[in-house]
Structure 1
Amino acid sequence: MTLGFVKIPDPASRFGLHDGGGIYSRAVVSQVASGGEPDCGLRQDSTKIEELCKLDCVTMGAELAYNDMDDGVFSDSEAFASVIDVLDGVRMAPMLVAQTDSDQYDYLLSIVDPGKKVLPDDEALLATALKALSRAVFKIDIAYHQSLLSNIFSLCLWNYGLDARNALLELITNLAAVPDKYLDYCLHMLVNNFLPPRRLRDLMRQPKLLLRKKEIHGELRKALHCIASVVPLAPVKLKNLILTRMPKFRDPRDMIVPFVEFVLGLENDEIGKFLGSTLLAKVIDLLTELDVNITWDDIIQEEHNRGIFVMELEDWEENTDNVAKIGMKGNAFADKLDALMVIVCEHLKSCANSGHLFEVFDKLSEIFRRAVLKLHKSKFTQFLMFYACSLDPDTCGLRFALLLTDIFVSEDEDRDSRMKAVAYLASYLSRAKFIPSSLVASILKRLVDWCFEYCQFQDRQEKKISPQVHRVFYSGCQAVMYILCFRMRQILDAPDLKQLLVHMPLVSIVYHGTLDPLKACLPSIVQEFLRQAKAARLFNVPAPYVYANSHESEFSKAFGGIERLDMFFPFDPYLLKESDRFIRPNFEFWSMVKTTYSNFNSDDEDVFDDLDDTPNYPDSAGGFEGNDDLDIDEAEDEDDLEYSLNKMSITPKPSAFIATNFDRTLRMPARIRPSTSPNF
């Protein structure tokens, strides 16, 4: 006896289904009960189903037709009735089920088989069956139809075309709406489909599969949105499920990337309002885990004579093809982080284009303060804030600067948070092209005023320098000098801003007899600051005296602490290759900076001789780069791996790497790279 979507002589064995409006699609997912990852692979040896009829599929309007029995096709109502008959036929104790009803139910299971190799005829048959089942969900009972439900929840969307996917998602949506029955199973099934099956993951960079991924992710989001709109409990359950199933930083790239892509897509949907900042926070947590696990030892083996800083070469600025890709070669964590940074930056850009950037920026700021600011070893994740600010400098850019300033001046914040905040602030205002000089000057005035008040307070206290006690003050002073190294010329070129800067009590701070910040801050920064200040005639005082051992100074090491916050400039040049395109257009490299002395001729340089009489220290000790001592030909012959690190930022180096080569004068730390904190 042949069973199919045609009228057949035996009514007891009849299972007729027909959708006059079109074939719907179907999807396959892994076992829900196990909670594991879906296995959407197709079994090659499934039982061959008896040929039912010849099917003619027409896109979005396919009709099931039997060539020799045009009058044997069921109507929609007859197809629906057939499914009801099959479901009712086994709705009893197994020993009471008639053999013909059991056969019909088994045949339905064979159609909705997640492990069966899919042929065009089978997919059309499946789509029609799923469409009929979606109209009969009130007849489905887990006590009698457990095998059918297990098959449905194990289907994988990635194995089917549009029609079958639509039919499956319609069925899942209807099942989820059944009160207190299938919501958890449906959500598990949909979350399982965030990722493509294993057999496709290595191929997901192909354009055709990328398009398919975009389509399937869009269909999944629509289904989740529909479920959330009719089941109030769904968003809470979905949030908990996503948090549980979020990939770990050690998982393969092809698992992490599509999952995060989908999760961020939910943020842009209405369902994102129900989920709050939870999903974005979880994604940022994943990024920071990857970030802190990228050690600089993975990138290069440090030379013993390189010291604390390694300089940026000006002539390397434009050689972007080789930057980063060599330094990060073979680093799986860096590769995954780079891909995720691209995804999150594209998400932020999409939010800006759709007018939702402010909402996302509020969430991002909260996450930054909680998870990133306190993380000293973060090398790249913080650039999400940089990029978000670049999308709206007038609002987001301003708010970020004010946030960091408020943290620094607040006595309610802990000392390390204040020091890190002002380090972020200094690096941000120095490197962000999109921040206007007027805002820089305004923030500078606030920092200078705080430092001046601190000096006045200390004048009434014990006359003794204690870098550990005054760590916050020294970090504020160093931030002021660092910002002015990058921005002094711009400020002085604007008459109103020049007056503001000239009237700041900088001399009273930097030449304070007791606190003496010039002695405590990094000499490379101090020297460049004084050089520019003197060229601009900002100070009418003698040049400072020379300090012994000033390649970093004992005082700077003391106020920097174990984490060496005296050398923490988190927005120094970015190294990740693919995501660099989001950062570079708005990033100020040192070679681009116009200094106050840049227009002087060689005769004018004599006025700086007293600043250049400091002991000779290595360029790698964090000095300003210059081409006078640099043999370009020799530099071009250096290892590409070393070149790639010229884009890094300042962070502490292990004491074993302190420089021993004192043959060069300190210069400005332009593109200075970070390394890991000392291991204690």
Structure 2
Amino acid sequence: MSSVYSAKTGLSSILKAYSPAERERAKNIAINKVRFEIPKQKGILDAVEAVNAHNNFQPLNEFVAFLKETEISDNEFSQIMSDAHKLIYDLSPKFTNMVEALISLPWTKRQPAALQAYTEFYIDIMVAHNKYVEFGIPKLISLWIPADADESMWPNGTPIDNVKIELDAIHHLLDRILTAIPMSFEVVLETIENKFPYFKKATHVIAGYVHNVLWLTEYKPIFTEFVMQLLIQKLVVLDVNAPRSEIEETECEEDEDLEEENEDQEIFEMDDCQKSSGINQKDDDLLPMKHAIAHTLDICMEKMFNFLDTRNPYALNVTAEQRLQLNKFWKVLLTAFDNVILPSHNTHHVQFLLFYHSSFKNTIAEAFLQSLWDKIKNPNVSAVIRQAAVGYIASFLARAKFLPLQVLKYYLKELCDWAHQYIQRCDQYRQNGSLKANIVFFSLCQAVFYVIAFRSRDLTADRKSLLFLQSLQLSAIVTCNFNPLRVCLPAVATAFAGVTRAYQLAYCHAILERNARRKLATVYANDTATPEETLDTFFPFDPYLLKMSEKKITPHYLQYQASEAEEASVVATHMSPLRQRKRGDSEMCDDIDDFIVADKRQKIMELARSQEREAQFTYGLSPGFHM
């Protein structure tokens, strides 16, 4: 009896909950009722009139619900936008909910007539009521961000044709808004920064957003300085979260067994990584990086390199006026470097934007070096920045294949002159010789040693060059009271010692031996292995590990080529039985292999056997250090 009564009265709904299917049907019925109650042609007109004439918001709220819940056809969309356009000046802030609902309607995939109707309404509502700019522009820029499921539409961060057409409409609309409403510039700046995807998002999401941000500078160059600084900041975040050691480990997993088998040959990790990461294998260029964040950085760096290509002031068919504008871009890039990259610790790839741009013309490279040198000389610049500038100038002089030899010699002379003046000044005042108190001096000395060792083939090619090296008075630097070799990275110190001994420029080995004995004495005296006082240094233009974008760097990048005379001296480090290389050693440990030419290893080993006894003592210290 109770079941019959329940069936008649519908009270059974109290006893059991709606299933999801029933809930969806109820929702659709409600939507259809709203749709039925609001005529397509007069819905917005009646809703606005009810508010203005009778302060009745019910029709307005129902119409907003209709916009949010209903799938609207192109014809209906065009009619609604046309009706809304007629009411532009009536849509004061009390109609904010409805205006936001209208602006939020999907529009990029619609027919041209519907696109036109939306565009005209969007522009006129923003011009008539500036309040809506703060909502409208973020809504527009959010359309730059690819959906997580749209990976196939963004191969390597570049939109396919259909997506590009949609984005073109978005950028065209933003261009018109920026032209019509100058105050919108600030909103755009804030929105671009706030909408930037999290660095762990999918590659196509981040690269797609970068693509659109760069697109903005094409029609509004006024944003270039802000965009470059913002993008470099975001790339630095990617860079420091993709450490060189992690990239090497991820890319070199297949080579570990091979390295263990070839321990006697001392094939260093860096060379192995270069081979496995595609630096010498074009067939691997299209394969993504195995490290997810490194892959994202790789795609973004290629986009940035391509963007720099369009900003080359020395490209063909560039007019004098265009060259003047493009030269201003170099100052923008250099400012971004000074503000973001130079103060950043442990970046490995972003700085190659400056390296690549400097390759366009020697005058750009010289301007970059001069900017670094000005910071090094300026005592009002913080010691941290000066030390970083020393690292950049040393690494650039060593690695830039495009740099003329006379420029290399000029800066070596400048560096050495500064070191000599510093030594004389400090001897006069008997200054404290600690590492911390003289960090810039020690960093600069190591830079000189590194550049001379790395570019020894060019700097010893003829008698004139050897006379130049002699004029640097390297022996005075090496033998000064500061003893700069004691704090140098062992790989740099031993390589420099090999070059100077081969060409009788200075005699470093006795100093290296004395330094080694002192360190051993300190350890045994305290009965503890105390940390050695060594420069915390990195060489920012060490080998580039990203597969896809490295093709932009390789033609301009110098790999080490040792001169015949010092090879036997350098190999002693590698032949020492006291030297045990571990996979966990820092990356600069690998960079020592830049001082050995692979195809000459056998000959070097034969030459070194006679020197092995001396090497056991002179080069016995492990070159495991941090960059």
The TM-score normalised by the length of structure 1 is 0.67
Native 8 Å contact 1:257 1:340 kept in 2: yes
Aligned positions, number: 545
Q: Give the corresponding residue for 1:374.
A: 343
Q: Give the corresponding residue for 1:258.
A: 208
Structure-2 change in CA distance of 1:204 and 1:542 (3 Å): closer
Cα deviations by residue, 1:469-501 (Å, 9 ceiling, x for unpaired): 332222111111211223233245477766544
Structure-2 change in CA distance of 1:540 and 1:237 (3 Å): closer
Q: Equivalent residue of 2:144, what SS?
A: coil
Separation in 1 of the partners of 2:546 and 2:404? 26
Native 8 Å contact 2:398 2:558 kept in 1: yes
Shift of 1:437: 1.4
Q: Give the corresponding residue for 1:25.
A: none
Q: Give the corresponding residue for 1:123.
A: 74
Native 8 Å contact 2:239 2:348 kept in 1: yes
Structure-2 change in CA distance of 1:370 and 1:552 (3 Å): farther
Q: Give the corresponding residue for 1:585.
A: 555
Cα deviations by residue, 1:422-465 (Å, 9 ceiling, x for unpaired): 11111111111122212111111111110111121233244985
Q: Mapping of 1:527-676 within 5 angstroms?
A: 527-535=494-502, 537=503, 539=505, 544-547=510-513, 560=534, 564-565=536-537, 568-590=538-560, 593=561, 595=562, 597-598=563-564, 616-618=578-580, 621=589, 622=592, 624-627=595-598
Structure-2 change in CA distance of 1:489 and 1:156 (3 Å): same
Structure-2 change in CA distance of 1:579 and 1:124 (3 Å): farther
Residue number among 467, 471, 494 corresponding to 1:503 in the alignment: 471
Separation in 2 of the partners of 1:479 and 1:283? 30
* 1:239 correspondence with 2:189: yes
Residue number among 492, 512, 537 corresponding to 1:525 in the alignment: 492
Native 8 Å contact 1:314 1:625 kept in 2: no
Native 8 Å contact 1:158 1:197 kept in 2: no
Cα deviations by residue, 1:82-127 (Å, 9 ceiling, x for unpaired): 98x7755444335978x9xx79x989997xx566557xxx335534
Q: Give the corresponding residue for 1:445.
A: 413
Native 8 Å contact 2:343 2:388 kept in 1: yes
Native 8 Å contact 1:176 1:183 kept in 2: yes
Native 8 Å contact 1:338 1:577 kept in 2: yes
Shift of 1:220: 2.4
Shift of 1:605: 7.7
Cα deviations by residue, 1:202-230 (Å, 9 ceiling, x for unpaired): 54339995223333333323222221222
Separation in 2 of the partners of 1:258 and 1:492? 49
Separation in 2 of the partners of 1:170 and 1:552? 80
Separation in 2 of the partners of 1:44 and 1:664? 85
Structure-2 change in CA distance of 1:176 and 1:607 (3 Å): closer
Native 8 Å contact 1:358 1:396 kept in 2: no
* 1:93 correspondence with 2:58: no
Task: Structure 2: state its 5+ residue gaps.
Answer: 1-26, 316-321, 523-529, 583-588, 604-614
Structure-2 change in CA distance of 1:609 and 1:161 (3 Å): closer
Q: Give the corresponding residue for 1:358.
A: 327
Native 8 Å contact 1:88 1:139 kept in 2: no
> If each structure's helix is expressed as a fraction of its own residues, which one has the higher value?
2
Separation in 2 of the partners of 1:48 and 1:499? 94
Q: Equivalent residue of 2:338, what SS?
A: helix
Task: Structure 1: state its 5+ residue gaps.
Answer: 1-42, 52-81, 633-661
Separation in 1 of the partners of 2:336 and 2:625? 23
Native 8 Å contact 1:519 1:547 kept in 2: no
Native 8 Å contact 2:138 2:191 kept in 1: yes
* 1:346 correspondence with 2:297: no
Separation in 2 of the partners of 1:607 and 1:631? 14
* 1:516 correspondence with 2:473: no
Residue number among 137, 140, 145 corresponding to 1:195 in the alignment: 145
Q: Give the corresponding residue for 1:38.
A: none
Cα deviations by residue, 1:321-359 (Å, 9 ceiling, x for unpaired): 588999952x32222222222222222222336755433
Separation in 1 of the partners of 2:489 and 2:156? 50
Shift of 1:398: 1.6
Structure-2 change in CA distance of 1:132 and 1:434 (3 Å): farther
Bigger relative contact order (CA 8 A; separation at least 6): 1
Residue number among 119, 126, 133 corresponding to 1:176 in the alignment: 126
One-letter amino acid matched to 2:495: E
Separation in 2 of the partners of 1:463 and 1:665? 30
One-letter amino acid matched to 1:312: D
Native 8 Å contact 2:513 2:617 kept in 1: no
Q: Mapping of 1:419-430 within 5 angstroms?
A: 419-430=387-398
* 1:225 correspondence with 2:175: yes
* 1:280 correspondence with 2:231: no
Native 8 Å contact 1:300 1:327 kept in 2: no
Separation in 2 of the partners of 1:156 and 1:299? 44
Structure-2 change in CA distance of 1:155 and 1:343 (3 Å): farther
Native 8 Å contact 1:543 1:611 kept in 2: no
Q: Give the corresponding residue for 2:18.
A: none
Separation in 2 of the partners of 1:541 and 1:481? 13
Q: Equivalent residue of 1:576, what SS?
A: coil
Q: Mapping of 1:297-376 within 5 angstroms?
A: 297=246, 300=249, 310=269, 312=271, 316=275, 319-320=280-281, 328-329=289-290, 331-352=291-312, 355=323, 356-376=325-345
Structure-2 change in CA distance of 1:464 and 1:350 (3 Å): closer
One-letter amino acid matched to 2:103: F
Structure-2 change in CA distance of 1:340 and 1:450 (3 Å): same
User: Sequence identity, in percent?
Assistant: 22
Separation in 2 of the partners of 1:463 and 1:184? 59
Q: Equivalent residue of 1:547, what SS?
A: helix
Native 8 Å contact 2:419 2:444 kept in 1: yes
- CA RMSD of the aligned region, Å? 4.9
Native 8 Å contact 2:509 2:618 kept in 1: no
Separation in 1 of the partners of 2:301 and 2:519? 37
Native 8 Å contact 2:573 2:619 kept in 1: no
One-letter amino acid matched to 2:348: K
Q: Give the corresponding residue for 2:164.
A: 214
* 1:289 correspondence with 2:237: yes
Structure-2 change in CA distance of 1:327 and 1:499 (3 Å): farther
Separation in 2 of the partners of 1:338 and 1:502? 43
Cα deviations by residue, 1:278-309 (Å, 9 ceiling, x for unpaired): 332222222222222224357539999999x8
Native 8 Å contact 2:399 2:559 kept in 1: yes
Separation in 2 of the partners of 1:360 and 1:551? 53
